[in-house]
């Protein structure tokens, strides 16, 4: 009780979540009257980040930096435009499709929203779309970033759950494609109601020229995802190869990337990676405290009185995680919930930890698009000047179809496990 109160107090005054978790561990040890636990404290932190799989995080972030600096994103948008730009609501489809392609390279929702909002929102405004809708749609497109591989959140979950990073990345492919399809359905329905404009129709020659111009940029996701699916490389190795591929495409094809900018990009990737890895180290301490205090066992006993079978447990988990995701960012949300809920899911209800990880990540990412925090909306607002609250209201159908995906995943686990051997 004292530990919980201390944790909430320091979090409410604005202390970063990683420090909150570490301070909560110190308070728990002091309250337990067992100072010998302090000897184990640093070992728990070190053990949390002593994982080969975590090397993939800075590499995936570096890929995003190179891609943004190499003009690769613009080529991907042009490629999507060649396929679906001329249908009713074409630019809305292009927004989602381009986000799907970009998410197979970036792996971070907020970074993806910041990049894509600069490109897509002005373009959609020129064609007559409402700026608030364009910004909100871009924010939902960014939701695909942590679901379609590569994904920083899946890497962190893999370490917390002690499952294969490659398996987690593969498990996100089908749900990501399905969510893209559901977004298309929502756009089609809204297009008939609001009479969305059509973009200028391209000739066959223009489309072929665009595809040929942008095709080499697709080598990056093909290298990353293909090497994992084909068993040629694990997640960390594929991230390293993907970074090299992004640098080569940016330097020799788009010709907008310079190797002299690499140190600056590596520094930014290192800073962001350090933040994530400190959270993982703090999570190890937090998990240790929870297990020592028998919190998972007590939580399991309560949940079993409410959820009688795996499906009802998954539906209850969706509600809990969605609420948590509205006030806590993605990676910290993982760190706080996985140590408690995962043992219950696997040991009590026999749920595959990889499937459970997909559901957890999608819920927490959807929380980034829900009030009161809605971080992705605030990122889109900072770039475009649209109002975050209004963004949520005009894009409610996309929230609805994302919830439909979560229900489908809860009922049919094969949707995330089908590609796994």
**Is the preceding omega at residue 47 within 30 degrees of 0, hence cis?**
no
Place of tokens 């990880």: 357
Residue 309: DSSP 8-state: S
pLDDT of residue 408: 95
CA distance 124 to 120: 6
Spatial separation of the C-alpha atoms in residues 101 and 404, rounded to whole Å: 22
Residue 63 is encoded by which pair of tokens?
Answer: 């890929």
The 10 Å CB-count burial string (b at 16+, else e) for 161-189 is: bebbbbbbbbbbbbbbebbbebbbebbee
H runs (alpha helix) in 109-151: 109-126, 131-142
Radius of gyration of the chain (CA): 22
| pLDDT at res. 43 | 85
What is the number of other CB atoms lying within 10 angstroms of the CB of residue 367? 23
How many CA atoms within 13 Å lie on the side-chain side of 7? 16
Residue 188 CA from chain centroid, whole number: 25
- Helix then strand then coil, % of the chain, to nearest 5: 80, 0, 20
* Cβ within 8 Å of residue 91, ≥6 positions away: 81, 85, 120, 123, 124, 127, 129, 197, 199
Please give the model's pTM, rounded to 2 decimal places: 0.80
Dist CA 237 CA 239 (whole Å): 5
Report whether 334 contacts 360 (CB < 8 A).
yes
Residues 6+ apart with CB under 8 A from 28: 2, 3, 289, 292, 293
Is residue 219 within 8 Å of residue 236, measured between CB atoms? Answer: no
SS3 at position 357: helix
Q: How far apart are CA 333 and CA 90, in angstroms?
A: 35
Q: What is the dihedral of CA 241, 245, 246, 250, to 10 degrees?
A: 160
Query: 250, exposed or middle or buried, with CB in 10 Å at 0-12, 13-18, 19+?
Result: buried
- Which DSSP symbol is given to 199? P
Find residue 198's DSSP bridge partners. 88
pLDDT score, position 143: 85
Backbone φ, ψ for residue 198 (5° rounding): -100, 145
Classify residue 198 by its DSSP letter.
B
User: Residues, the chain, total?
Assistant: 421
- Residue for token pair 């370490």: 159
- Domain map of the chain by residue range? 51-417
Report yes or no: 322 and 366 within 8 Å, Cβ to Cβ.
yes
pLDDT digit string (tens) for the chain, length 421 residues? 677 777 777 777 777 777 887 888 888 888 878 787 888 888 888 887 877 777 887 888 888 788 777 888 778 777 777 777 667 777 888 888 888 877 766 666 777 787 788 888 888 888 788 899 989 999 898 888 888 887 888 888 998 898 988 899 899 999 999 999 999 999 888 887 777 777 677 777 888 888 888 888 888 888 887 888 777 888 788 888 888 988 998 888 888 888 888 899 899 888 878 887 887 888 788 778 777 777 767 777 888 888 889 999 999 999 888 888 776 767 778 887 888 899 899 988 999 999 999 999 999 888 878 776 677 888 888 888 888 888 888 889 999 999 999 999 999 999 999 988 6
Q: What pLDDT sits at residue 57? A: 79
371: left (phi over 0), alpha (psi -120 to 50) or beta: beta
- Please tell me what DSSP assigns to residue 39: G
pLDDT score of 59: 84
The whole-number pLDDT of residue 356 equals 95
SS3 state of residue 88: strand
pLDDT of residue 397: 92
The closest of 311, 281, 306, 327 to 413, measured between CA atoms, is 311
Q: Which helix (DSSP H) or strand (DSSP E) does residue 350 occupy?
A: none
CA atoms lying within 13 Å on the CB side of residue 97: 20
326 SS3 class = coil
């Amino acid at each position: 009780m004292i530990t919980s109160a201390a944790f909430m107090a320091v979090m409410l005054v604005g202390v970063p979540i990683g420090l909150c978790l570490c301070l909560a561990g110190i308070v728990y040890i002091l309250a337990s009257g067992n100072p010998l636990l302090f000897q184990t404290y640093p070992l728990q932190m070190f053990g949390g980040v002593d994982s080969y799989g975590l090397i993939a995080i800075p590499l995936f972030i570096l890929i995003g930096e190179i891609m943004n600096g190499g003009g690769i994103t613009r080529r991907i948008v042009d490629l999507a435009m060649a396929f679906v730009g001329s249908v009713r609501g074409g630019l809305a489809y292009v927004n989602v499709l381009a986000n799907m392609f970009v998410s197979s390279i970036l792996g971070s929702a907020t970074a993806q929203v910041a990049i894509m909002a600069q490109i897509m929102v002005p373009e959609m405004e020129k064609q007559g779309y409402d700026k608030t809708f364009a910004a909100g749609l871009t924010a939902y497109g960014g939701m695909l970033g942590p679901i379609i591989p590569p994904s920083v959140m899946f890497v962190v979950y893999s370490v917390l759950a002690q499952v294969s990073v490659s398996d987690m990345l593969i498990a996100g492919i089908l749900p990501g494609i399905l969510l893209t399809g559901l977004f298309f359905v929502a756009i089609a329905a809204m297009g008939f109601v609001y009479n969305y404009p059509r973009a200028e129709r391209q000739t066959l020659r223009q489309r072929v020229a665009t595809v040929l111009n942008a095709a080499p940029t697709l080598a990056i996701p093909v290298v990353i995802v293909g090497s994992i699916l084909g068993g040629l490389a694990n997640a960390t190795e594929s991230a390293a190869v993907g970074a090299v591929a992004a640098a080569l495409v940016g330097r020799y094809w788009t010709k907008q990337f310079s190797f002299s900018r690499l140190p600056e990009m590596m520094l930014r990737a290192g800073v962001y990676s350090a933040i994530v890895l400190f959270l993982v180290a703090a999570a190890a301490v937090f998990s240790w405290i929870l297990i020592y205090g028998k919190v998972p066992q007590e939580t399991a006993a309560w949940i079993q009185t409410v959820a009688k079978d795996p499906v009802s447990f998954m539906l209850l988990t969706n509600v809990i995680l969605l609420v948590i995701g509205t006030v806590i960012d993605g990676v910290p949300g993982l760190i706080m919930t996985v140590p408690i809920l995962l043992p219950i899911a696997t040991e009590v209800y026999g749920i595959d930890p990889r499937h459970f990880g997909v559901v957890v990540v999608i819920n927490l990412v959807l929380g980034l698009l829900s009030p009161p925090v809605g971080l992705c909306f605030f990122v889109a607002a900072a770039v475009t000047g649209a109002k975050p609250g209004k963004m949520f209201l005009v894009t409610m159908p996309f929230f609805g179809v994302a919830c439909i995906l979560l229900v489908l995943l809860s009922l049919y686990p094969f949707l995330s496990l089908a590609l796994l051997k």
